[in-house]
Amino acid sequence: MRGNTTHMIKYIFRRLIQSIPTFFGITLLSYLLLWLAPGSVVERLYLAPNIKAETRARLAAQLGINDPFHIQYLRWLAGDDWLRWDTDGDGVADQSFTLLAKLDEDGDGVPEPPGDNYGILRGDFGRSFVKKQPVMDVFMANLPATLELGIATVLTSLAIGIPVGVLSAVTRGRAFDNVSRVMAVIFDAIPNFYLAYILIFIFAVLLDLVPIGGRCVPNLYGVCPPFYVRLVYLILPTFVFAAGFIALFSRYVRTSTLEVLNQDYIRTARAKGLSPQVVNFRHAMRNAMIPVATLLGPIITNIWAGAIVIETVFAWPGVGRIAFTSAIQQDYPVVMGIVIFASIGTILGFLLSDILYVLIDPRIRIH
């Protein structure tokens, strides 16, 4: 047992080391896409679309956005205290301010630099152009809502998709199997936003059983009530978000369970007189769970990506919605911060899949 734990720890550490180049590759590609995006950072930052050309050039020099791509990328990645460039446009490198150096934080008309600690490797993602707040504060303020919706979606997907897949395999060719396969195709094919609008119209508008959107009705202090009080707000977005995952789980589990049911040890268990429930849900289902472990990594990634659509449709105040609005508003620091957090979640999600392989199937060994 101790040897297996040691191998597991070494494996996790090795995978984390291997993920470092992946992480830096994601940061490089993401910043390149942002650098190639149309529009002027100066116009967005100063809210002045008709700014004069000479003023734009001077401000661009002050902000450092005329520097070569690799300089801008390294400044965003590691901070700016190791760089010095032209802040007043006179052609002489004199100070080291960050991209947000000209923000007037106290309203006195004098822009203040945020310091020399800017850099994502230091945990400083800069400040939002629109909200005038640190990106980390914006992200953390919206993260609980996304985690709440994401956890509810994953649990719902597992709680429905796995039993449906097992029962479909056990009742192969019968009514339940046929209906579940047809429903899986429908839920997998229909877009999330279209399904959301249909269910909102039926259950929120016509029947008035659930709210149209939002996370809660805040109290006088702007705080949501306890989770159990606002569960009704979670029903529709969770089901819509989980519909595609339920279909995916049920299909994979059905296929895997059909293969397991034909194994010799299953026939032996039946010959010993074990009940169908014990054979199907204790012996067969556990060995059919490897596809579930395979899917959990990509699903965690899809939770971040799909939340943009679901949270926007249901006005859910999470990270996905703030990512959408920030992209529309060209609030680049917030967008880049969310991309980095999503990439870290993706890397950890795939690592979780590999760990679950061993927990589900003892035959798999890590070296």
pLDDT tens per residue across span 171-201: 888 999 999 999 999 988 888 889 999 999 9
Say which residues have a Cβ less than 8 Å from residue 323's Cβ, sequence separation at least 6. 308, 334, 335, 338
**Pick from 79, 65, 73, 63: nearest CA to 123:** 79
Q: Cα 36–41–44 angle (5° rounding)? A: 130
Distance CA(170)–CA(180), nearest Å, equals 12
First CA to last CA distance, the chain: 14
**What per-residue confidence (pLDDT) applies to 356?**
76
DSSP letters for 241-267: HHHHHHHHHHHHHHHHHHHHHTSHHHH
pLDDT greater at residue 358 or residue 109: 358
Mean pLDDT, range 306-313, rounded to an integer: 86
What's the pLDDT at 233? 92
Highest mean pLDDT of the ranges 11-15, 44-48, 314-318:
314-318
| Contact of 101 with 86, CB cutoff 8 Å | no
Task: Tell me the range of 5-9, 10-14, 172-176, 345-349 where mean pLDDT is highest.
Answer: 172-176
- Any idea of the CA torsion for 188, 184, 250, 266, to the nearest 10 degrees? -140
- In this structure, of 120-124, 157-161, 253-257, the range with the lowest mean pLDDT score is 120-124
Per-residue pLDDT at 109: 46
Q: How far apart are CA 328 and CA 4, in angstroms?
A: 49
What would the mean pLDDT of 143-166 be, rounded to a whole number? 90
> Residue 107: what pLDDT?
45
pLDDT confidence tier of residue 306, bands split at 50, 70 and 90: confident
Which one-letter DSSP state was computed for residue 120? Answer: G
Q: 3-class SS at 30?
A: helix
Q: What is the pLDDT of residue 349?
A: 81
d(CA 292, CA 282): 16
Of residues 162 and 367, the one with the higher pLDDT is 162
pLDDT of 314 reads 92
What six digits make up the tokens of 48? 């002045």
Name the one residue in this structure whose structure tokens are 């606002």: 230
Q: What's the pLDDT at 331?
A: 81
Q: Which of 20-34, 108-122, 304-318 has the lowest mean pLDDT?
A: 108-122
Averaged pLDDT for residues 101-119: 47
Q: Is 353 helix (H, G, I), strand (E, B) or coil?
A: helix
pLDDT, average across residues 58-72: 72
- Residue-range domains of the chain with CATH: 23-122 (no CATH), 135-360 (1.10.3720.10)
Q: For residue 104, what pLDDT band results from cuts at 50, 70 and 90?
A: very low
**Looking at the whole model, is its pTM more than 0.95?**
no
Q: pLDDT confidence of 152, banded at 50, 70, 90?
A: very high
Q: Are 321 and 331 in contact (CB under 8 A)?
A: no
Mean pLDDT of the chain, nearest integer: 78
| Higher per-residue confidence, 104 vs 269 | 269
Distances (CA, A) of 131 to 46, 139, 259, 325, 342: 13, 12, 54, 12, 21
pLDDT at position 203 over 70: yes
pLDDT computed for residue 48 by the predictor: 56
Span 64-79, average pLDDT: 78
pLDDT of residue 112: 45
